[in-house]
Amino acid sequence: MAGGRLSDTQIRAAKPRDAPYKLYDGDNLYVLVNPDGSKWWRQRYYWNAREKLLSVGVYPEVSMKTARARGEEIREQVANGIDPSTKRQAEKAEARNAAENTFKPVSEAWLEQAASARHWTADHTERVRRRLERDTWPWIGSKPIGAVTEDHLLQCLLRVGDRGRIDTAHRLRAELEAIFHYAKRRRLAAFNPASDIKSDDLPRLKVTHNAAIVDPTAFGTLLRALETYPGDFAVKCALKLEALLFVRPGELRLARWEEFDLAGAEWRIPASRMKMREQHLVPLSRQALTILRELHGYTGPDGFVFPQRRNASRPISNNTLGSALRTLGFSAEQQTAHGFRTCASTLLNESGEWNPDAIERQLAHGPRDKVRAAYNSAQHLPERRRMMQWWADRCDELCATKAAA
């Protein structure tokens, strides 16, 4: 039926035959009538002197008017030097990539890569995953990563802030920026929408200080209380070592036996666990060694020094030491696990016995200049060894001295 235009009546009336046949509409557009009764619109065109075909839909879902418009679009592409078939394949590939590269799987891939590259602990990795799962995936998890906007991210962050989780909102902002940096470097997103969201766009963080008992007599009372802790023996040892070594609680609870040289009276904390990403050496006093040797028979000889009671493959949680202090009657406004660092820093500085740089170095507040940091580490190590023994002796002295009645 070459020549004139088709009508809806003609297409509807067309009956299937034993073999497919064509109903031509003009401009190389036709309906292919199949033996099963289906009727497909086809547009024929020529590219590099070769005949090519493209489907433009199924009748009657695609009307005659729509089919003609699509056919005209194909012919215009050919006239403009574009192969419609190649263009359609590229669009389908882009659509597939968009479907596969939605925010959720990309953020999961980032999390796996970041956890491995930065040597995150399983607990930290799980906390980051829970933040993403709770605060982003329900809203943007199914969106193509390249289609997520600054507004989408800001709404997620403000929802977290509205729950009163201000610190979580700021942590999540930094994680979102890292996710989109990851996506951009892999050409999954053209830009980083999180980079324009600043801390000032979110509710302000409240500055908090880790509560600490710095009065010597009251600190002695705290030390005596540690001796009475009724819970797990490893947790009791962790509390006592926190007071003696004043490392960050996370550094202590993740300690592994292979990091300790008890014969050499040293604990070397690997750089991957340190805030400044530099290995930190902790000289061990006689008192600390006594605790560690006793504990070695309880949780050693390998693995975590402070494992969970029911699962030795995992360390005690980041709330364990704080909960233990609450058990002993010290509120979070009186003393925190992190506050032991403040206790030591205050009392060591007030003693006037020690170089402030040595104290800061032992607190792992090392200078940002790497050359100076290495120099200070070597320069102050003998003093730090003497200081850590002095501090342990001072703790014994305070523990033995009760307040006057």
CA distance 142 to 103: 6
* 365 catalytically annotated: yes
* Catalytic residue chosen out of the listed positions 248, 253, 361, 380: 248
Sequence-separated (6 or more) residues with CB below 8 Å from residue 117 = none
Question: What's the per-residue H, E or C state across 290-301?
Answer: HHHHHHHHHHCC
Residue 380 annotated in active site: no
State the amino acid at position 237 in one-letter form. C
Longest CA–CA span in the chain (Å) reads 115
Is the distance from CB of 269 to CB of 247 less than 8 angstroms?
yes
- Determine which one of 341, 380, 384, 385 is catalytic: 341
Q: CA 258, CA 149: separation in Å to the nearest integer?
A: 46
**275 assigned to active site:** yes
> What is the token pair recorded at 208?
């908090």
Q: Which of 280, 338, 384, 385 is catalytic?
A: 338
First to last CA, the chain: 115
Distance (Å, whole) CA 74 – CA 43: 8
CA dist., res. 305 & res. 325, Å (int): 19
Active site annotation includes 152: no
181 has catalytic annotation: no
Per DSSP, the three-state class of 53 is: strand
What is the 3-class SS of 148-169, one letter each residue?
Answer: CCHHHHHHHHHHHHHCCCHHHH
Q: Residue 16 has which token pair? A: 């299937």
Compute the distance between CA of residue 400 and CA of residue 385 in angstroms, rounded to an integer: 23
CB 29 within 8 A of CB 67: yes
Q: How many CB atoms lie within 10 A of CB 8?
A: 12
The reply to whether 280 belongs to the active site is no
Q: Is the peptide bond before 307 cis (omega within 30 degrees of 0)?
A: no
With H, G, I as helix, E, B as strand and everything else as coil, classify residue 230: coil
The closest of 194, 209, 117, 111 to 157, measured between CA atoms, is 194
DSSP 8-state symbol, 14: P
Amino acid at 85: S
Q: Tell me which residues are annotated as active site.
A: 248, 275, 338, 341, 365, 375
